[in-house]
Chain A
């Protein structure tokens, strides 16, 4: 894998700050980010953590209500692999912000997958539609 095309934790946090206009410290205080996000900042960020940050931003900053019925996200075969991020993944998937992959009928979110810059831009573009 050519790592250069994927975003590090640091870069994704910077993108979040740039998009939201809210400082890192404030995002941490609000609970959009967590302290672990600032460790090993050069590591590539994975999709489950992107889902968490995006969902927290929607919920906490934009006050967007969660989808109550997440059963349509049960199609994601790896949804239940993750007790702490299942709802984050379900919400960003159901709200059309992050897509899943269909591998011969097997639909997976790819929780450990990495994200590229163009994908990140697309996530924030879609999030922008939720700004009231």
Chain B
């Protein structure tokens, strides 16, 4: 029997450099059993690179990953320890779903009946003898998940599993991940969508530009990052600011005459305004979404900004001036 400590993934100072560019920068964290750990970061943050290094596919420039306390290539029959869905298209299109799983099973000494079991579990039994190239994206994703489940591993890893799935498929995979974790397995799942993680993950590891930004429980992340504030619009802005200042409340202007008060109580502000006969056009309690919190956390580290702040100039505006 393996102890529960044994099915952890431990990263220590994991670093990957491509040429002059740091893709993964000194990552240290531990993925624990019994919960779904979300691996969150914007596109290009280094999530897939990190996962490939966990599976021994890419060599770290520095640092270490250990599965069950051992390096991946020291595992005998690794599919029995860790199952991974990295890329649904990592399948030879000319091979049938059944044969794809059979060759993987044989390489790890897994009995052939497991192939039928996992095909059944992901709902692909009817197309088991069909070539994988005829599969839709969702079916490919299911085949990849079947491969991950093949060795009945204690650790499961999914890279962006809901991408390209229909609502029914998304619902299915969320349920699958939760039930795997409930069985005491280690579940590590990456995503670039905070809203998705909020629905499935119990623990969060957030990275940006390869660096660790947060390693916290989901509940802790929500408590810390969901900013609540009061939003106010008034034609007597200066007067209200004075009144608030006297009362020791700090208001921040957020453009177009709107004031925001962090953690302020709307009742107290409304009463103050009434005492001083100030007209309010709006007084509303607001809650920043987790998505906003995530964007704020990763703001500095997002690699590909859309540059919405600079107005787009007509194409060729510069050279058309002709000087």
Task: Say whether A and B bind each other.
Answer: no
B residues within 8 Å of A by Cβ? none
A residues within 8 Å of B by Cβ? none
